[in-house]
Every structure is written in structure tokens, then in C-alpha cells.
Amino acid sequence: MSTWNHLFLTGEFRAREDLLSGLTLKQVTLRPTGASHSIYEELWHAATIQRCVVEQDKELEAVLRGGTRYPSAVPHDEQQWHDLVQQFLEGARAVVALAQEPSRLAVEVAPGLSMGEELNCLAVHNAYHLGKIVALRQRIGAWPPKGATEES
């Protein structure tokens, strides 16, 4: 297993696909008392930042710096949630594929910052928001995912 696959898809804690599975629209849009964001909002943010990094989308990065760091609307149907999960997972797979090319990891994406370093920062960012998603799942009684054990 590659380090990048471990960081973005399968390692250190529950596989990301499993971690995001088995949730209803009601569950992902619920914001428990005291929580700053819903599960949907946390994943939307993580997926958007991930897309910014992977695609080096400076336009989207500027929008995020302008204050649009979380979605302004909730999803209208469960399919929107599933689409967001797929977008996040596809982005994570894109990171793993990108990381297979050492020359791309060495590219300077900002002064003094290589793509490899940027991807390491992204792994930490994703872990932070996925941890918040697990905590939210626990608070609303949706943890562990159905058919899984509590171990991760």
C-alpha cells in the first residue's frame, strides 16, 4: 500500500468510503446543538479545499478566501449527498494518482511550497474534518456505520 493511499483513502482510521457510508439526508443536514457545522457542510468544505489543491484552481481558492468556506444551502435530496461523497472520494483518488509522479510532487505551487508539501497539508486538513464528521456521527447516534464495528 502506498503512503498516499494510506493518507487519503484507507489508513490510520476507518476507510473514507466506509466512514461516509450509511447516512440519510436528515442525518447529514442535522446540526446538533453546539456544533458549528453539519456533516454535509464539513464534507463539502473538505471536498472543495481538496479540489482546489488537486486542480490548482486559483479562481475557486479566491472564492474561498472571500468567505465562502462552507455551503450556503443544504442539499435538496439524498442524491446530492451521495454525489458529494463521490466527489470527495474521486478527489482523494486523484491525489493518490498525482502522487505517483515524483516530478509533479516537486512542482512549486506557491513560493517555497511544493505540491508534495501541499498534499501533506491537505491530508492533515482532511483528517481534521473527517474526525469532526465521526464526532458528529457519534453525537447523532449514527456511529459506527451499519455492518461495521466500533474499532475505528
Three-state helix/strand/coil letters over the chain = CCHHHHHHHHCCCCCHHHHCCCCCHHHHHCCCCCCCCCHHHHHHHHHHHHHHHHHCCHHHHHHHHCCCCCCCCCCCCHHHHHHHHHHHHHHHHHHHHHCCCHHHHCCEEECCEEHHHHHHHHHHHHHHHHHHHHHHHHHCCCCCCCCCCCCC
Q: What are the tens digits of pLDDT across the range 110-131?
A: 899 999 999 999 999 999 999 9
Q: Which domains does the chain have, with CATH numbers?
A: 3-139 (1.20.120.450)
Q: What are the tens digits of pLDDT across the range 30-83?
A: 999 999 999 999 999 999 999 999 998 888 777 778 878 899 899 999 999 999
**pTM for the predicted model, two decimal places:** 0.92
